[in-house]
Structure 1
Amino acid sequence: MAHVTFKGNPMTLLGNEVKVGDQAPDFTVLANDLSEVTLADSKGKVRLISVVPSIDTGVCDAQTRRFNEEASKVENVEVLTISVDLPFAQKRWCAANGLENVKTYSDHRDLSFAEAYGVHLKELRLLARAVFVVDSHDKITYVEYVSEGTNHPDYEKAIEAVKAAL
């Protein structure tokens, strides 16, 4: 398993670590309207899955904006931002920041995504910061478990992986 810290404190990651070349595990998260969303809902597209501890923090805000801005320049790519924030809070954040096309999803109900991708921070019941790229055939082509939860992911490498997966 990946080793991560949060504010310097070692964390226990629960779930199944995924690797490049793996078939992307399915999951069920909630959209802002409380409807269920699965990996299959974006089948046939390249998916950049941006995982954040909480949308209401500076690094998570920057990560969400950056990936959505970069991906909007590339056709046939969908960005999924996943956290355990409640869907209502995610919807409010998007509205307050004028981001109508950002797709935020909540894993708060049963941590389906967290367990499937190995990003459940046991001590905090948050998601570890991570980035996954899934190609149009549901293969994982890029994985980054960010080693310190308050650090930014490698935006350039993730965007390169998205373009390479097209």
Structure 2
Amino acid sequence: MTVERTGAATFKGNPITLIGPELQVGAEAPDFNLHKNLLETASLNDFAGKIKLISVVPSIDTGVCDMQTRRFNEEASKLGEQVVVLTVSADLPFAQARWCGAAGVDQVVMLSDYKNNSFGQAYGLLIKEFQLDMRAIFVLDADNKITYAEYLPEMTEHPNYDAAIEAVKALV
């Protein structure tokens, strides 16, 4: 049965419905199958043994999503080899690659949830009204346990960058 969380967040003050459960700190992160490009996918196993910062954005071509991705790209190089920063959106892999090239973003792994929104549903982020993933941040330890989760209450707000980075550093 699909969980719908009506009014779990807003877009410009208007309530939106999120599909999927709200994940809690201490839980095991759901596996995923996201697209790196049209032919290649990635799952949690591809990042086994690494600390993972998962930055979820609705669309890379919007102001807050752009700034969020640039910020975590900048931080990624300071976090060390045992950390991987993943950015997930429902944008097509082509759009993600184009944006990264234009923005000079090369420290984060871009992953697309465009095909069936399974990541959004598993992580409780699929916006029913838009078929995009809601902005959120997750930090997973090397064993895929959630050590930090931030579900943004308003789609247009920035996440707490410092708290997310500190959560990663606490695991290093």
| CA–CA separation in structure 2 for the residues paired with 1:109 and 1:136 | 27
> Is contact 2:72-2:108 (8 Å) kept?
no
| CA–CA separation in structure 1 for the residues paired with 2:68 and 2:129 | 23
* 1:68 matched residue in structure 2: 73
* 1:14 matched residue in structure 2: 19
The one-letter amino acid paired with 2:54 is I
**TM-score (norm. length: structure 2):** 0.93
> Is contact 2:73-2:105 (8 Å) kept?
no
| CA–CA separation in structure 1 for the residues paired with 2:64 and 2:123 | 21
The one-letter amino acid paired with 1:93 is W
Deviation digits for residues 21-43 of structure 1 (CA, Å, limit 9, x no counterpart): 00111011000353110011101
Query: Helix, strand or coil: the match of 1:3?
Result: strand
The one-letter amino acid paired with 1:25 is P
Deviation digits for residues 114-136 of structure 1 (CA, Å, limit 9, x no counterpart): 11100000001111000000000
Q: How many residues align?
A: 166
Deviation digits for residues 75-127 of structure 1 (CA, Å, limit 9, x no counterpart): 11101000000000000001111223331110010111111100000001111
Alignment of 1:85-164 (within 5 A): 85-164=91-170
**TM-score (norm. length: structure 1):** 0.96
| CA–CA separation in structure 2 for the residues paired with 1:4 and 1:10 | 6
Unaligned runs of 5+ in 2: none
Unaligned runs of 5+ in 1: none
The one-letter amino acid paired with 1:24 is A
Query: Helix, strand or coil: the match of 2:107?
Result: coil
| CA–CA separation in structure 2 for the residues paired with 1:161 and 1:71 | 13
| CA–CA separation in structure 1 for the residues paired with 2:59 and 2:171 | 27
| CA–CA separation in structure 2 for the residues paired with 1:144 and 1:100 | 24
Root-mean-square deviation (CA, aligned residues, Å) is 1.3
**Quick one: which of 48, 60, 64 aligns to 1:43?**
48
**Identical-residue share of aligned pairs (%):** 58
> Is contact 1:16-1:118 (8 Å) kept?
yes
> Is contact 1:34-1:87 (8 Å) kept?
no
